[in-house]
Amino acid sequence: MYKKLFVTGIGTGVGKTIISAVFTQYFQADYWKPVQSGDLHQSDSMIIRALIDEHLKIHKENYRLKVAASPHQSARMENIEIELDDFALPQTNNHLIIEGAGGLFVPLNEQFFVIDLIEKLSIPTVLVSRDYLGCINHTLLSIQALRQRQIKIDYMVLNGKFNPDSERIILKNINQHTKIIHLPEFNKLNKADIKKICTTLSL
């Protein structure tokens, strides 16, 4: 059975793209970024392409928006309305890693958020957390929001070094079925680094 996972984070800048690259490479999966908001000259799909095996497939984004802002704002500036019904899982006979935009409550339009897209696609998540002042609150709120929607968290990724006191509280609030992944701090990665990381994992 092919694995499908939606990589989301407790906020923006916590390392979703790097984690997506690691999971895509590890599972030899396809990759899909449904909405790219800004940085079209160096999109997340382009970054992933440079970090994974060349034969792995990257599916085209549904929306490529010019302004680096929340998708609903970027779309409005281009007179575009993002519609939830426009999203469907790409057809593939392979594993699939999907990367979201920002955190769970990043708005896609005036009504729907990223968490609504995850719920529509009906697949489990990889929740990425990073240690900073406020990360406990953001992580537990994300866990609770996913739990209320009955969206499974298959993997919890602690990205970078964590204060033991923060880590302890976070892990006490994770369901037993969730696999915990610890990854070290990375300043700059290349394809060889991603492959090396994959050899240390057991997903």
Is residue 185 part of an annotated ligand binding site?
Answer: yes
What's the pLDDT tens digit per position in 97-133?
A: 999 999 999 999 999 999 999 999 999 999 999 999 9
Contact 27, 56 (CB under 8 A): no
Asked if residue 44 belongs to a known ligand binding site, the reply is: yes
Question: Taking the model in full, what pTM does it have?
Answer: 0.95
Q: Which of 3, 4, 33, 66 is catalytic?
A: 33
Q: How far apart are CA 203 and CA 192, in angstroms?
A: 19
Instruction: List the beta bridge partners of residue 75.
Output: none
* Active site (annotated) includes residue 152: no
Please, what are the domains in the chain? 4-199 (3.40.50.300)
184 pLDDT more than 90: no
CB proximity list for 132: less than 8 A, separation 6 or greater: none
Chain segment 18-54, per-residue pLDDT in tens: 999 999 999 999 999 999 998 888 898 999 999 999 9
Residue 58 DSSP SS3: strand
102 annotated to a ligand binding site:
yes
